[in-house]
Structure 1
Amino acid sequence: MKRTQTNKVFKEVLDVDGQITVEINGIEIKLPERSTLGDAIRVSGSPYQEGVSVGILKRSEMEQEENVVEYRIVTTSGEFIIDLFEKHSPSKEQWINRFREYIDIPLRWISRDAVAFGPFVSEMAPKREKGAYKEYELLFAAGGGDPQNTHLIITKARHSAEYGAPLEGAFGKVVSGKSVLDNLEKKDRILEIKPVISWKQTGEHLLTTDLTIPLEDGEKVFTFLNVMLSAESPHGAEHFFAVIRSGTFKVDMVSSSFISDHALLGELPVYENYEPRTRGTVFLRTVGYGAGKAFISTDDRTSSILHSVIGHVEQGMELVGMAEIGHRLLVHTTPPQIMLHGKSFLEAEEELAPYGVKLIREGDIADEALIVSQEPDTTIEILREGSVKATGVDDSKIVSIELYDNDAPMTLDFFRHAIGLQFRPVGIMPLIMMYENTYIFKAEKPAERYKEILPENTPKKMVVSGEIGVTNQAAKRMGMIGVKTKDDDLFGPTGEKFISTNIIGRILDIQKLQNFKEGDKVYVIERNRGDTHEQ
């Protein structure tokens, strides 16, 4: 929704008698009574995608602040959320009883390892000795050992220091909005500290796709979650981008400590980042049973040599906490993916402009040439280096394909993995043989080693020109890919009997195959993903 449209709706809303106040993604808005969930999304302009699940936290008279473990700290440069440790300590007690007194205190100093807000007066008992601190911890510290000169310190990295902290050290940790700490400047200050009442505490919540549900005064709505990707996991980030290719995280499993999406089960991500899987951590299983799954932690767990951390949920953990199997959650990432494949050089330059990234053209460098590869291949490395080499080809070297997801889902799982369409909009099919009206391809990636190709959607009477066939497990040449340029009532596209051939889709511009010779790479772009084909 455009800003002018949103402002117009707001004005109309405010002119109506009988209003309710609701909070959507942390922002309060006013609506007429009997407004629906859809009204709130439209008025606020909140992120939303058709079919995703939206969380509603119901207002409860039973909400009690003394049981709160999370607090939202709003600063002049943004907000972050802290989580208090379970263990009781004098520092934790001090925070619970006096957190309102820390509103409006300025940022006193910044270092590579930590930031400090203050000073203020406390009754803490400081210890003049060096302490060891982990990243994103909170502690009180008395400058010069004087409680009259107390500061709230938030660490940004693992380090040792003598802060004049109490014996118990840290009393909490930052669980969301960590990037705000890197943006803080000396002019900043704390504006507000708000206890976060979670759905688990109230026990009243709803996860729904129905936008006609009426909202009530005081309810809180969550439409999306934002994931801050780790600079230490460039390849893992690309795996996650592929998992959420549709813009959503599909909840395939829910446990007491995580939710998971199994879209890329069987793909082996690179292990890159060993760190604790705290609440809100996004991580990948890299080896063994379940490799390829993507997880979001809902509880704290230790580091694992089987799981590589690729990011953290910065906003929307409430939605994660409400997740149920089968629901899809809308996901935004910081940074968003830089994917140039399938774009023209002009389109790529427009996409890169906001990042200040230089585009180096290779191959066919015409403005209208289509990009089939990029180096570096990952978003994080591109942003780190500030430049990217992209290889372009003429449109005649790219064929468009339509795949029959409803007819051959298992074979398409193999096909997309084998030619790279699980991770990129452009796949590669090396042409290894041509004879008469038949083209035979062999994918560079041997996905048939870990993907089954059982007989599925086999032809009955005829194979139509342009249809793509894959040899199934009933024949020795399992995994071969073929296309015929003429109808055939005897053999499938790979030259096999019909019973050994799975039909998975069709090439939309079959005439382009005449531009290729044996040994060439045929680039393919998938169109109309999810369409059904009827034979």
Structure 2
Amino acid sequence: MRVFVDGNEIELGPGACLADALQKAGSKPAEGAIVGVVKGRGEKSRQTNSYWLNTSKGRIRIELLENELQKIWHEVVDRILGSRVRWATADGVALGGFSSEISFGRSAHEYNRWEVVLGAAGFDAENTQLIFIHRRHSAIYGTPDNGGVFAHVVGGKSTLDRLEIGDKIEGIEPIVEWQDLTEKTSTLDMTLPLEEDMEIYTRVQAELIEEAPLGAEFFLASTRDGTFRVDSVSSSYVLSDQLLTERVAYEHREPRLEGVVTVRTVGRGLGRIFIYKQDRTSNPSHSVVARVVKGMDMIKLARPGQLITFDVTPERIMLLGKSLEDAREEMRERGIEAEAVGYIGEDAVVVKQDPGATMEILKAKRVKLSAIPSSRLISVQLYYDLAPKSLDYFRHVTGLKEKPLGPLPVYFTYESTLLFKPEVEAVSYKELLPENKPVGLVPAGSIGISNQVSKKIGMVGIRLEEDRRYGPSGEKFEATNIIGRVLEPEKLRDVKDGETIYIREER
């Protein structure tokens, strides 16, 4: 039995299931992530009149016309692959040459914008060209009596403007409209029986855009576990709310074509990440940060609440939380100069990198690392189910939403209590309603936040010893939200006012 896993053909025995295919293909989805399965597309592909032409400058979609040249197209489509731009003018752009059995003449014809023409360059069928019309004009292209128009451009029109001498066609894909495929599913069931010619998809591959370094880093943060969480689905996109309300700079505008990844930078839905399934125009609220280059079928199969395995290139450079020695070695392997400032002892742990964004580091080929003694890096466990709103605030002000560790400046210490004043002010736009208030006593090591009942709303505290009267932030129980606990309280015994400790979440 023949099946395809992420585009690669493999052979399986009778009665094989999904797990067998993944094992033979050596493909392992991320934990909890879906696998996509499509059946019966091959036959529909042979019937389609719609194609993607993948060029070195982007994709162009064409729709064939119902005329006699359709037969010529189907005969030569494999020969067109690799064709290069032969000329590009204000009238159009031609790619070739390839052999065909086209009949040709020497008469001029009228052409309109977005038409696609088959013509014999030099009146030689062995040197046939694909000509895309930019504007209305009359010309002699060595075409049949009907003018040689066999298709229209219906997508990726901006790509035509960017084509120049030397660009080429790198791939040709027949398009089967997704809604026409009735046998398609996303599943976690590894025992799913397989059938001949099934297509199996396990992951999506995306490439970051150089023009949006901060937005690209934002996207890397949302996929740092190797997955993209789908929170909502429409006919034209899927979106993730994983970093909803987090601010990100607007950097790059371009049409939101199929496969484009954007981040909403202003207004309602700030911080949402969109992946487009259909072409849409550009939008001043959406900064384009990446493009899907493989695995769009997974995007189209996904449903709300599901995880998709994601591979993003270039790989994120995130050195925070690593030992200084390991961080330096990693940068050496990637050809990047790493300068260490501040503490450089054997137990040094990186807590800052400058630049912070992967694309900026790769461009500069250097990064400055700041480290602290490992005794000032504290591991914590957070209570997502018990205090979701408070944790949204806490992870925002510490940067834990986007990074593996974050700072907590020490505001005041007394007896067995430490108070912290976050670097980021967020009480004006983050809710801190009472939730998970302590009952009976506060266990040693508890982390708490002063809620809206308190005058010192947003203050973070850690209690090193249990207490039956006051919460970790020094407030009464009704003004305290318990959000987690410190796993290494002994590290905090000698902390002084004005210091900054760093916390790392353990899951």
Corresponding position: 1:340 with 2:319: yes
Equivalent runs, 1:135-150 vs 2, <5 Å: 148=125, 149-150=127-128
Match of 1:103 in 2: 78
CA distance in 1, matches of 2:453, 2:108: 74
Task: Give the structure 1 partner of residue 466 of structure 2.
Answer: 487
Could you report, residue by residue, the CA deviation over 1:274-323 in whole angstroms, capped at 9, with x for unpaired residues?
A: 11001111111111111111011111111101111111111111111112
Alignment-mate amino acid for residue 352 of structure 1: M
AA in 1 matched with 2:33: V
1:230 is displaced (CA, Å) by 0.8
Counterpart residue identity of residue 416, structure 1 = R
Whether the aligned pair in 2 keeps the contact of 1:127 and 1:167 (CA below 8 Å) is: no
Gaps of 5+ in 1: 1-19, 176-180, 529-535
In the alignment, structure 1 residue 208 sits paired with structure 2 residue 187 = yes
Q: Which residue of 2 aligns with 1:300?
A: 279
User: What is the aligned partner in structure 2 of residue 533 from structure 1?
Assistant: none
Query: Cα gap change, 1:503/1:153 in structure 2, threshold over 3 Å: closer, same or farther?
Result: farther
Letter in 1 for 2:486: I
- Partners of 1:110 and 1:415 lie apart in 2 by 58
State the distance in 1 between where 2:389 and 2:354 align. Answer: 31
Residue by residue, what CA displacement relative to the aligned partner does 1:129-168 show, whole Å, maximum 9, x if unpaired? Answer: 9x999xxxx97687977675444589xxx9xxxx998999
Report the secondary structure of 1:468's partner residue: strand
TM-score by length of structure 2 reads: 0.84
Q: Deviations over 1:323-356 (max 9, x none)?
A: 2111111111111211110011232234334432
* 1:115-130 equivalences in 2 (<5 Å): 117-120=96-99
Contact 2:381/2:506 (8 A) holds in 1: yes
Deviation at 1:211, TM superposition (A): 1.0
For these two proteins, the number of residue pairs brought into alignment is 486
Match of 1:329 in 2: 308
The secondary structure found in structure 2 opposite 1:321 is: helix
**Aligned position for 1:49:** 30
- Any residues of structure 2 matched to 1:264-413 within 5 Å, and which? 264-366=243-345, 368-413=347-392
% identical equivalent positions: 36
One-letter identity of the residue aligned with 2:24: V
* 1:84 and 2:66 correspond: no
- Aligned residue for 1:451, secondary structure, equals coil
Offset of residue 214 of structure 1: 1.0
Change (3 A) 1:111 1:397: farther
| Corresponding residue to 1:34 among 15, 34, 37 | 15
Q: Does 1:25 align with 2:2?
A: no
Residues 1:299 and 1:275: Cα distance change in structure 2 (over 3 Å): same
How far 1:93 sits from its partner (Å)? 8.7
| SS of equivalent residue, structure 1 residue 171 | strand
In 1: Cα distance, 2:201 partner to 2:287 partner: 27
Q: Shift of residue 427 of structure 1?
A: 0.6
Alpha-carbon distance between aligned partners in 2 of 1:47 and 1:164, rounded to the nearest angstrom: 55
Matched, 1:245 2:224: yes
Give the 3 Å change call, closer, same or farther, for CA 443–147 of structure 1 in structure 2: farther
Deviation at 1:119, TM superposition (A): 4.3
Matched with 1:430 is 409
Secondary structure of the 2:369 match is: strand
Aligned to 2:160: none
SS at match of 1:320: helix
State the secondary structure of the residue aligned to 1:463.
Answer: coil
Q: Which deviates more from structure 2 when the two are superposed, residues 478-487 or residues 515-524? A: 515-524
Local SS of the residue matching 1:524: strand
Q: Provide the rounded CA distance (Å) in 2 between the counterparts of 1:237 and 1:101.
A: 40
Alpha-carbon distance in structure 2 between the residues aligned to 1:383 and 1:493? 42
Structure 1 moving runs of 4+ over 6 Å:
109-115, 123-129, 138-145, 163-170
The equivalences for 1:93-242 within 5 A come to 97-104=72-79, 106=82, 108=84, 117-120=96-99, 148=125, 149-152=127-130, 171=153, 193=172, 195-197=174-176, 199-242=178-221
Provide closer, same or farther for how the CA distance between residues 393 and 212 of structure 1 changes in structure 2, counting only shifts above 3 A: same
Following superposition, the deviation at residue 357 of structure 1 comes to 1.6
Q: Is the 8 A contact 1:440 1:481 kept in 2?
A: yes
Partner SS, residue 449 of structure 1: coil
Q: What's the counterpart of residue 144 of structure 2?
A: none
2:434 matches 1:455? yes
Q: How far did residue 84 of structure 1 move?
A: 2.1
The verdict on how the C-alpha distance between 1:143 and 1:498 changes in structure 2, with shifts beyond 3 A counting, is: farther
Q: How has the CA–CA distance of structure 1 residues 468 and 142 changed in structure 2, closer, same or farther, with 3 Å as cutoff?
A: same
Which is further off, 92-101 or 205-214?
Answer: 92-101
Equivalent residues of 2:104, 2:120 under 8 A apart: no
Superposed CA deviations along residues 237-275 of structure 1, whole A, max 9, x for unmatched, are 111122223222222111111111111111122111111
Matched letter for residue 30 of structure 1: E
Residues 111/320 of structure 1: CA separation in 2 closer, same or farther (3 Å cut): farther
- What amino acid maps onto 1:40 in structure 2? A
Query: 2:145 matched to which residue of 1?
Result: none
Give the distance between the partners of 1:115 and 1:124, measured in 2 at CA: 16
Q: Which runs of 5+ in 2 are unaligned?
A: 142-147, 158-162
The residue that corresponds to 2:445 in the other structure is 466
1:477 aligns with 2:456: yes
Q: Is the 8 A contact 2:119 2:130 kept in 1?
A: no
Residue 462 of structure 1 contacts residue 487 of structure 1 at CA under 8 Å; is this kept in 2? Answer: yes
Question: How many angstroms does 1:362 deviate by?
Answer: 1.6
Partners of 1:173 and 1:424 lie apart in 2 by 38
- Distance, in Å, in 1 between the alignment partners of 2:259 and 2:301 is 13
Q: Secondary structure at the match of 2:327?
A: helix
SS in structure 2 of the partner of residue 356 of structure 1: coil
